[in-house]
């Protein structure tokens, strides 16, 4: 009974205080950046009420947002303020004969996780607030420490990549205190001597026939390699194709792969958090053999970009992104020079 009273009280407080007005408006009219800030405010208030850190809720939302985007049938739909979708068997309870059940009482009876978050006496899986509230409650039942949340994520997703990605996204958001992490950097200092063209999909012979998944940026040994995004270092070490390489997860759940490095930036390790423009390593020609192999091809950086769609990881062409970041970096540099000329 006590729990029920608290739950009801909580949902009333939540409903009156934090359901944002924009939720009832057309989400398409919202400026994307405002949308992100509004989502963050909602999640921060959720943290105050439940103890589940907002960064985890943000990471779950971002993870599901990417999955929705990468699955073709939902590509055109805007997921709105909260992108989390809880499937019917989880929402209603797997043994519930009514897989469209919205009655909180019978859902609870069948062990479903669906709850009423906005106080309308219905547990509606299409109501963003009910969904967020149900997800938060699901995690809260297992505890609010980092380890507890990992267990909660595992219980919910049953997929190690999902648990890792969400945990890493949460760390990025925690370190920078924001989800607004869209800034990008070009991959090398503009004044360094580099060149690249579109090598996406070229055939590669080493280690069996492979398709080239990335862009090669040719530059001298030791040219600094810059992180293109905010991110979490998921991978550091040797691979017989990539040589010394780094894998970095960004705040939008893209995975950036930097290979053939001559060395890493000092202090970079698995679990480090980086921002756009941070030096992460140096151009080399490592790879195509056992650890330490180098010089089997001219020095260059291999850069790949990947997405995870909930089941598998797939690569996409980084070349147009590099071109656009390079253009923006030049524009920013020239604007800075002009500003200095005009203002002494
Ligand atoms: Zn390459």
How do residues 287-325 score in pLDDT, each as one tens digit? 999 999 999 999 999 999 999 887 888 999 999 999 999
Distance (angstroms) between ligand 1 centre and the Cα of 195 equals 13
CA of 257 to the centre of ligand 1 (A): 10
Residue 215 alpha carbon to ligand 1 centre in Å = 6
* CA 65 to ligand 1 centroid distance, Å: 29
The residue-averaged pLDDT of 15-24 equals 40
Q: Is the pLDDT of residue 4 over 90?
A: no
Which pTM was predicted? 0.85
**Span from the CA of 304 to the centroid of ligand 1 (angstroms):** 8
Residue list, CB under 5 A from ion ligand 1: 216, 302
**Ligand 1 center–CA 57 separation, angstroms:** 36
Task: Report helix angle 146-157 to 160-176, nearest 10.
Answer: 140
Q: How far is the CA of 69 from the centre of ligand 1 (A)?
A: 27
- Segment 51-71, tens digit of pLDDT: 999 999 999 999 999 888 776
* List of residues 6+ apart from 213 with CB closer than 8 A: 200, 304, 315
Residue bearing the bigger pLDDT, 161 or 230? 230
Instruction: Say how many Å lie between the CA of residue 302 and the centre of ligand 1.
Output: 4
pLDDT at position 2 is 44
DSSP notation for 54-103: HHHHHHHHHHHHHHHHHSGGGTTS---S------HHHHH-TT-S-TT---
- Residues 6 or more apart whose CB falls under 8 angstroms from that of 222 comprise 262, 282, 283, 284
CA of 165 to the centre of ligand 1 (A): 25
Q: 40 CA to middle of ligand 1, Å?
A: 38
Helices (H) and strands (E) in the chain, counts: 9, 12
Distance 299 CA to ligand 1 centre (A): 11
């Amino acid at each position: 009974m006590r729990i029920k009273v608290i739950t009801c009280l909580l949902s009333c407080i939540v409903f009156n205080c934090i359901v944002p007005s924009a939720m009832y408006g057309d989400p398409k009219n919202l400026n994307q950046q405002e949308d992100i800030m509004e989502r963050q405010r909602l999640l921060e208030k959720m943290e105050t009420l439940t103890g589940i850190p907002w960064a985890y809720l943000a990471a779950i939302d971002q993870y599901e947002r990417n999955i929705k985007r990468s699955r073709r049938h939902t590509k055109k739909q805007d997921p709105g303020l909260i992108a989390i979708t809880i499937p019917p068997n989880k929402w209603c309870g797997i043994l519930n004969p009514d897989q469209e059940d919205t009655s909180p009482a019978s859902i609870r009876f069948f062990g479903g996780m669906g709850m009423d978050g906005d106080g309308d006496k219905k547990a509606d899986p299409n109501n963003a607030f009910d969904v967020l509230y149900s997800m938060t409650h699901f995690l809260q039942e297992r505890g609010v420490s980092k380890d507890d949340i990992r267990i909660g994520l595992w219980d919910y997703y049953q997929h190690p990549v999902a648990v890792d990605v969400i945990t890493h996204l949460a760390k990025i958001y925690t370190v920078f205190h924001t989800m607004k992490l869209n800034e990008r950097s070009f991959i090398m200092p503009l004044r360094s001597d580099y060149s690249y063209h579109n090598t996406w999909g070229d055939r590669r012979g080493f280690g069996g026939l492979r398709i080239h998944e990335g862009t090669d940026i040719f530059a001298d040994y030791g040219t600094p390699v810059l992180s293109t995004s905010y991110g979490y270092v998921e991978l550091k070490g040797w691979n017989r194709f990539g040589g010394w390489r780094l894998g970095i997860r960004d705040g939008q759940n893209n995975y950036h792969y930097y290979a053939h490095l001559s060395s890493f930036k000092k202090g970079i390790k698995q679990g480090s958090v980086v921002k756009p423009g941070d030096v992460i390593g140096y151009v080399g020609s490592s790879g195509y053999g056992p650890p330490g192999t180098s010089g089997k091809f001219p020095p260059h950086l291999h850069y790949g970009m990947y997405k995870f769609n909930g089941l598998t990881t797939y690569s996409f062409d980084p070349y147009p992104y590099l071109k656009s970041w390079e253009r923006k970096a030049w524009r920013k540099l020239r604007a800075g020079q002009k500003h200095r000329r005009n203002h002494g």
